[in-house]
Structure 1
């Protein structure tokens, strides 16, 4: 049963895809102090299913946060479907959502219902309407009995599902997955992947592991804060794996700087 479920990880959901999301990055730059994380990224791309790969430290998570509008570029612009997602946060909630690797970095409220209703309230719904919509999402996921559950009693995988339901409730046109399967065991990975079928919009899936990215249309390879390759998923992933294998055959981590 687990082997069957694993074939679904990273695959395109069966639900129909909405109109492609338009990503526009214009010389976007982001740095932590003197360390440049993303270096003048320029991208104009229609996205339905995009895989993003790169080594640890290549800037993948920073790119995810820029696209979600959680941070603004220090130079340049980032727009999704014409919306400046860092400056117009209310409009951004309808355009893009994000699922982090660590759900504890995303969850704010003590109970499941409060967590799901919060984003809906941010979109302008009154409390009663937000809670009713949150209950409808719980029912759609078969988790109505979680409504009053305290999140600190849930497992790591269950917290991930709460975050997924909370983002899905806001119905963004684009969902960014930032290494959502990292650190999860095989059954939990398979179950979360299956729950992604409840989301019918476009996806950007960020991972350093190509196994998570089967079934995606396009791939972007990020290297040292710049785009190393962009194109058909199979070609880009093959080039990425070949390069990572080549680096793995070296022994640079055994050497100490003088």
Structure 2
């Protein structure tokens, strides 16, 4: 039996449309495992699924909930609980330095400047990048930027971490470092991780894998079995 997280994500009668084009259709889906991977071809709906979980995308029909909270009606609370890390960290780093970026993410939860700074430094230190705090974000490597982007999310202490192609821009060494840090902190803090990825080795490390194709979940279950199905479908 696959271990469960302390949070439940539910999809009910969900359809997402862009005009008349169907991006994703999920009749019913419950996610409770600690580590979930989402695989499939480009444009299949992987990113849309992740973005539904924290309200970056709203369903055209149906609803998505995180621990019973509707992602539309309770969007702010859900985004506090479900943190999103983009494939391109530049999308999340908008301040001159890593420290300021993490502080920015804390502005609504910590009013005092000194509290924000202390919490931001703790988040950077936990990822082993405290020495980058005052560096220019523009001078950082892609791997360092991705770790800083992760720090901006983890500083909010989410219960769900959504990773959208997190290793796409990273070389092998930085990709391994990033995934190891995520795994270590997810275990330490009991965080559910949902990772959309083309890296099948990374996908295989999950407890459950979803295969999405043409906007539908076409396989769901044991990572090895689902990856085998994906390889077979891709070979046709």
Which TM-score applies when normalising by structure 2? Answer: 0.89
- 1:22-41 Cα distance to aligned partner (Å, 9 max, x none): 11111122122222111244
Q: CA RMSD in A?
A: 1.9
Which one of the candidate residues 203, 212, 224 is aligned to 1:213? 203
Instruction: Quote the residue 1:162 is aligned against.
Output: 148
State the alpha-carbon separation in 2 of the partners of residues 41 and 68 from structure 1.
Answer: 18
Q: Unaligned regions of 5+ residues in structure 2, if any?
A: none
Secondary structure at 1:39 match in 2: strand
- The structure-2 alpha-carbon separation of the partners of 1:125 and 1:213, relative to structure 1 and needing over 3 Å to count, comes to farther
Please say which structure displays the higher CA radius of gyration: 1
Match of 2:101 in 1: 115
- Give the counterpart of 2:122 among 131, 136, 142: 136
Distance in structure 1 (CA, Å) of the matches to 2:4 and 2:124: 22
Question: 8 Å contact 1:71–1:86 — kept in the other structure?
Answer: no
Q: Secondary structure at the match of 1:91?
A: helix
1:72 alignment partner, one of 58, 73, 76? 58
Gaps of 5+ in 1: 1-16, 247-258
Which residue of the partner structure matches residue 46 of structure 2? 60
Contact 1:38–1:226 (CA<8 Å) still a contact in 2?
A: yes
Q: Is the 8 A contact 2:124 2:148 kept in 1?
A: no
User: What SS does the corresponding residue of 2:158 show, helix, strand or coil?
Assistant: coil
Partner of 1:255: none
SS of 2:229's equivalent in the other structure is helix
Paired with 1:160 and 1:141, the residues of 2 have a C-alpha distance of 11
Size of the alignment, in residue pairs?
230
Given the alignment of the two structures, is residue 44 of structure 1 paired with residue 30 of structure 2, yes or no?
yes
1:232 correspondence with 2:219: no
